[in-house]
Amino acid sequence: MKKITAFIKGRVQGVGYRYYVTNCAQEIGICGYVRNKEDGLVEVIGEGDENSLQEFIRQLHASEDSVIHVDDITVIWADSSREFKTFGIRW
């Protein structure tokens, strides 16, 4: 099991991005959370197997969405802490 911390930059707040990320995570089986940050970034914490996380990162780009626009994603990999059982939105 691995863990990612991702910071997403772009038009990702106020456009339903957190709900999009939550749906992707739940479909793939990723545990963790997504939240807006005050600096305009979106933070995503995800835990799962490496292949699932790679697919999750690919989907974080939301390239098929006409409203969301991701400019950049910074991903930090680590070993899983196994602290999450589900995926959800944090406020």
Q: Enumerate the active-site residues.
A: 18, 36
Longest Cα–Cα distance in the chain: 35
The token duo for 5 is 């911390």
Q: How far apart are CA 47 and CA 14, in angstroms?
A: 25
